[in-house]
Structure 1
């Protein structure tokens, strides 16, 4: 029982701030509208992502709405060409999929010459950016209001079954081509699980997975021990909320409670949670605080917690009785990553300082891929990189993004 509580709370403290790259200093400084350095914005943005993050740099950008088959309306942006325009026809599409508690804007926080989305566009690719349900640009539904708890009744299972297929199908219909895929953190999880079930394989040309998340048994966090000692019970009873919003309410109180405990240094919360990122620019971090974090469902956080607690990659666990009704068996079905087609080109890049995508867990993932075609599996290890370096690092262009461009061109 003690192990169960420890594991659950370890993932809670960690994933409640996954990828939340906080300022190394002054996180707890008071500022109007802020919660732990986060700026609180209205849930409905006044300006679309194209206007606020892409067009300002001189790129063409198109806004699309993609409806899932369960009624969620997703915001998708397209950068059809580089800043100079012209050039190649029939550009290869690339889909960028963000992680949990952030949105598609995270691909565009650095200047254009350092951001993956614009680098790909400038290198001749047709770039598409997804925003999953519940994030600020994707909070609409055909019948449900985001203030309705029913709106938040989903986990990453639903992202696999509904969101990812809707976006990939839309890109295929718009371009007539298979898409390359880039995922970070949870964006890698939903891709791997999807591929293991044979979903979207006919519309995906290759996949680049940054800080791959599939198995979470070895991740480390400075807050884990104090969290395990501080809490009793499951996170659903702690929050009692359908929406998990780090900017307000009970989640903010939770963070304050953690930071009041002896031995917890909230002035370097970034390092405590994501590992010691080597290469972040202070101005980019400040921009991040203006843009992120985003809401997700509490059910999604529970599902991620189950992944750590159970040590396996399975569908959402409702409990044995409800599992029988939902799945026809007492335990939730597993995602078997060994079923990923062996000839699907994969590029995996992970870091030695990453507290979330730990090297031992990546090794477990690679063990499931041990029969993958040798010439279709490319693995990159960067010793001094942590979780956020892969999307915000000032050296990521030279170390990672140029490799991705070459990888995609190899499988054009």
Structure 2
């Protein structure tokens, strides 16, 4: 009976890891695939390598926290291990049916919390720390995004441009007797620098995803001794890799074509901030959500960019009878020259489709950035970046999915244990 439960646990863990790989690969490498820097198979391979590095190094601390910190390891019987993984996968399924990327870490922790509440073994002090991190991390992401959007982003957007490559950046030259790699001959030095940034940050996000998500798939199995930490990391990464090479192809195409209307520069900034927050938390053994931190950084970046229409003094003392606008927009994240000319900011999908920014503007001198307080509020708030209804649904499901894990896990273990 026990051996069958262990096998069931391994299968469910692999299924959870498979879905993690399917979603995380697209989030990390969507911009790189969309801008034709790498192919989907190459993206999956790179994601696997860096997810393994993240899981094997920093991710061990998260596995320890979730396998023996939130509840004692002795509580992870074979039945409990399968139950925790089952409710993690079930909650993720509910979220996926609504088309919302759920927080795998929050969902997995919720399942373990249900076990701890049912058995009276929950480490309340540690959970207070984890929940505090869940509150503080998005606020940090929002704050950094707001500061960058208000003071730094306009200068970067005015000086950096990413162009479309007709073919992949790295190509295979088969003209000789031995195939060899070579760079796209049409790529300029600026293209190489921009490509290196996009690809480097994608790999960094892969590292962060591995560090935070490996524990979600195997922590219960490590807790009950079915696998060691080393074996758990290998199992998780193998399942994540399988998801990256299979179901991630669709998410890679989706993220690469759309990426929520973000210009590439904005995508790079929020990816770096989100991945850095999660890597630091993983170093301290705290499971947290990359999706939540990244989204809050997007909100902060857009708000900070839109706030340039007024000075801090004007924000603090609004004119009587006027309501300060806090709406943030896709146009607010465009370069100043792009907004002034009435054209749209270039997204990853537009690059892949061949829609390039104006060549003369890109090759000429960098446009000047209007001082804070002198930008046109109407231009900064021309189009909404997020659909309020969709944003409400996303936030609601981020709260609902871990709550379902807690309730379902608690009911199951209260009846069985």
- Structure-1-length-normalised TM-score: 0.26
The structure carrying a bigger helix percent of its residues is 2
Name which structure has the greater RCO, CA cutoff 8 Å, separation 6+: 2
Larger radius of gyration: 2
- Structure-2-length-normalised TM-score: 0.26
